[in-house]
Amino acid sequence: MEVFRMTAVVEKDEDGYFAFCPELQGCYTQGATHEEALDNLRDAVKLHLADRKDSGESVKKPSSVTLTTLEVTV
C-alpha cells in the first residue's frame, strides 16, 4: 500500500461544512460537522486515488503546500 499526504480544505457555510482536496480536481464533499466533512473527504480521496491507480493514471504527491490569506479591496 502506498501512503499519500494530501491537502484538505474545509469551509463552514450556512448548511454545514464543505471539504475538498485541491490536488484532485473534482474531489469534494460535505458534512454536518467539521469531523464528518473530513471523514467524508478521506473516503472520497481514497476512492479517487484508487480509481486513478486502477486506470493506470499517475498521481503526483504534492512536494509542498502553502496556506495563506489574501486581502483584496473591491
pLDDT in tens, the chain (74 residues): 888 888 999 999 999 999 999 989 899 999 999 999 999 999 999 999 999 999 999 888 877 778 888 899 99
Taken in order 14, 39, 69, 6, the sign of the CA dihedral is: negative
Please report the domains of the chain, with CATH numbers, ordered by start residue: 1-74 (3.30.160.250)
Task: Show the 3-state SS of the chain.
Answer: CCCCCCCCEEEEECCEEEEECCCCCCCEEEECCHHHHHHHHHHHHHHHHHHHHHCCCCCCCCCCCCCCCCCCCC
Question: Residues 47-56: contacts with CB within 8 Å, 24+ apart?
Answer: 48/21, 48/24, 49/4, 49/24
